[in-house]
Amino acid sequence: VRIAVVVVARPGADGAPALAALRAAGIADAEVVAMPVPGAWAAARNAALDRAAQHDVLALVEDDVRVDPGWGEALRAVWAGPDAAILGAAGGPLRATSAPAWLVGDHAEVLALHDGDLSSGPFPGGNVAFRVAALRGVGGFFPARGHDAGRDTVGEDRRAQRELEAVGWRRAGVAALSAARDLSSLHPTDLLRRRLHTGARTATLAARGGGRSGLGLVARAGAAAAARVVRGDPAGALDRIAWAAHGAGAVLGPALAHGELQPDRDRTTLRADVAAPEPHPWAVAPRAARAARAFARREGRVHGAVLLYHRIAELGSDPLRLAVTPEHFAQQLAVLAERWTPAPLESVATGEAGPHAVAVTFDDGYHDNLLHALPALATAGVPATLFASTGHVASGEGYWWDAVTALLGPAADGDGGGVLAIDLPEGSRAWAPAGAGHRAAVRAHLHAALRTRDRPAIVAALAALRTWGDAACESPGRDRPLTVDELRRLATAGPFTVQAHGRTHVSLAHAPAGSRDDELEGCAEDLGVWLGTAPTAFSYPFGVPGVDVDDATKDAARAAGYRFATVNAPGLVCSGGDPMAIPRFAVPDVGGEAFARWLDAVLPGR
């Protein structure tokens, strides 16, 4: 077992004492990773994970943690079981050693000394070891935003441990992996700062705001502190002041904690699809943008909306929400024709079609677009644009995400395969799913991991997935793309204009310039040969701005001769908008009434 041991050091902290303790425990080659800015735990831990790419195990200690003499031997000796991915010290919390005399009261949680009940809770991040491939499988460390439980008040190391358990890995406690935290250099202001931030994070993540109780805590703890000063009990007073700081943090809430709870995208190299950080709640920009939208609407500068569909089909399970049922689609089109102005994409983009204009678009080119969408569009008299992925049409090969969904779906029973390992260019990633719940979580991780890959990597990953799983779960017939002949029939039948979606459905912002240009130009060539006309519009595969589409992508699409391009991000089409980044609303699979309410909320109908 190749083990990387990394000391994560806060800015200005000295990693030497922690290294000395590791050396005494037989670990001679530990490294120190310095945190770039205070509080950037995820960034520092992900940097450690990057360094451990050639290792099987990543063990993390913090700068104030001193491992026990038997720690190194224990770590080398036990790598418990094939399904264990997280090892920590069992039988007790990370002990405090050399605590200053002024530290009284219960500040254990904020100092991450323990995490409650160790039989069920995660191990403290100051002394925990991970199976590297498993940790890479779930995307490394990630700040707490969006955590389901909303209780992740201590750190992203907890979040990573929960993710690992959600995809089937086990935690194992090892008594000999014990360590102590040296608090002798802890300064009272450190304690107060940490309590302030913990209060803010707790309040921000709690379902209800902590403002009122925060104020109450400040008042009560402040009064108690004053009483203890009077009684000549300075340590007790400091304890109460620390609680008052916690309450003050709760009052400040998101204003203080916001930054700490945002995705750490720059240093989360394993997650290309991380959402962009949300704007600070006090930021001026989003308010200005809202005001500008309202102004644009008043001034009659709204051109309309573009809808995004993929499939019209009845699918048993559709976790990616690609399908609308034929029944719902017919109802949606009837509502659209009655209350809005269905119009071709280009006349919505240019504003010719009036303020109630709505364009219908389809991405990818599934065969059910011919089978179910075409007759419904013809009946309702609604025009539509199909963005076809011509490599799939030419080869007949299905889309990789359908294989991933099927092989890891609720009907699959590939658990006999044990650990699922996928080799990617930068290292192996692995999951240990047992049961449908784990498989669903693995599916989401694998989808995110493959999304920005080139074709050879995706082909290799699918081969590994099929070896692990049960290929009989796939429905290649149900999920197939249109054939060239079917695409011709669809293009000449009336409602549909066929446009371009690239050849092999790769994320263009992640593709090298040469293959990006092949995708853009080759797709236009294919459509020109098959249909006799060159496409004028392009839909970027996956299409999320900032992830799959950047400025270079838009420039390349323009250079390839496209006049319009659509992205996969909600928004109205307005005059002065970027014609190479037309926003679209992904349509939910709902009936006519719900569809009308949904669309009315963004673009009021007639």
Please give the residue ranges that form the binding site for Zn ion (CB under 5 A): 363-364
- Indicate the residue among 268 and 385 with the shorter CB distance to Zn ion: 385
- Indicate the residue among 46 and 389 with the shorter CB distance to Zn ion: 389
Q: Provide the residue count of the chain.
A: 606
Candidates 260, 202, 201; CA nearest to 38 is 260
First to last CA, the chain: 67
Report the nearest approach of Zn ion to the CB of residue 505 (Å): 6
Report the nearest approach of Zn ion to the CB of residue 364 (Å): 4
- Indicate the residue among 143 and 543 with the shorter CB distance to Zn ion: 543
Q: Which two tokens stand for residue 400?
A: 């990789």
Report the nearest approach of Zn ion to the CB of residue 392 (Å): 10
Report the nearest approach of Zn ion to the CB of residue 262 (Å): 28
Q: Which helix (H) or strand (E) holds 586?
A: strand 585-586
Report the nearest approach of Zn ion to the CB of residue 363 (Å): 4
Quick one: how far is CA 504 from the chain centroid? Answer: 23
Report the nearest approach of Zn ion to the CB of residue 309 (Å): 11
- Indicate the residue among 293 and 455 with the shorter CB distance to Zn ion: 455
Using a 10 angstrom Cβ sphere, with 0-12 exposed, 13-18 middle and 19 or more buried, the burial of residue 395 is exposed
CA dihedral 116, 118, 119, 121 (to 10 degrees): 70
Query: Which residues lie closer than 8 Å to 229 by C-beta, 6 or more apart?
Result: 237
172 strand-pairing partners: 87
- Indicate the residue among 399 and 431 with the shorter CB distance to Zn ion: 399
- Indicate the residue among 357 and 500 with the shorter CB distance to Zn ion: 500
Report the nearest approach of Zn ion to the CB of residue 568 (Å): 8
- Indicate the residue among 153 and 389 with the shorter CB distance to Zn ion: 389
- Indicate the residue among 136 and 584 with the shorter CB distance to Zn ion: 584
The neighbour count for residue 339, using CB atoms within 10 Å, is 15
Q: Output the DSSP codes for 168-202.
A: T-EEEEETT--EEEE-TT--HHHHHHHHHHHHHHH
- Indicate the residue among 92 and 570 with the shorter CB distance to Zn ion: 570
Using a 10 angstrom Cβ sphere, with 0-12 exposed, 13-18 middle and 19 or more buried, the burial of residue 576 is exposed
- Indicate the residue among 325 and 568 with the shorter CB distance to Zn ion: 568
Report the nearest approach of Zn ion to the CB of residue 371 (Å): 18
Report the nearest approach of Zn ion to the CB of residue 361 (Å): 11
Report the nearest approach of Zn ion to the CB of residue 402 (Å): 12
- Indicate the residue among 262 and 390 with the shorter CB distance to Zn ion: 390
- Indicate the residue among 71 and 564 with the shorter CB distance to Zn ion: 564
Question: For 259, which DSSP code?
Answer: G
The neighbour count for residue 343, using CB atoms within 10 Å, is 22
Report the nearest approach of Zn ion to the CB of residue 386 (Å): 11
Question: What CA–CA distances, in Å, run from 361 to 112, 219, 318, 400, 580?
Answer: 51, 58, 19, 21, 15
Give dist(CA 606, CA 597) in Å, integer.
13
Report the nearest approach of Zn ion to the CB of residue 310 (Å): 7
481 strand-pairing partners: 366
Report the nearest approach of Zn ion to the CB of residue 344 (Å): 20
- Indicate the residue among 363 and 415 with the shorter CB distance to Zn ion: 363
Q: Which amino acid is at 209?
A: G
Give dist(CA 231, CA 409) in Å, integer.
65
Sheet with 95-97, side-by-side order of all strands: 65-67, 179-182, 95-97
Quick one: how far is CA 426 from the chain centroid? Answer: 19
Q: Which residue is nearest to Zn ion (CB)?
A: 363
Report the nearest approach of Zn ion to the CB of residue 390 (Å): 12
* 155-186: burial string, b at 16+ Cβ within 10 Å, e else: bbbbbbbebbbbbbbebbbbebbbbbbbbeeb
Give dist(CA 368, CA 327) in Å, integer.
13
3-state class (DSSP) for residue 289: helix
Q: Output the DSSP codes for 431-488.
A: E---SHHHHHHHHHHHHHHHTT--HHHHHHHHHHHHHHS-GGG--TTTTPBPPHHHHH
Query: Which residues lie closer than 8 Å to 214 by C-beta, 6 or more apart?
Result: 199, 203, 247, 248, 249, 250, 251, 253
- Indicate the residue among 68 and 589 with the shorter CB distance to Zn ion: 589
Report the nearest approach of Zn ion to the CB of residue 502 (Å): 8
Q: Which two tokens stand for residue 374?
A: 């075409």
Q: Which two tokens stand for residue 207?
A: 């379902």
- Indicate the residue among 260 and 364 with the shorter CB distance to Zn ion: 364
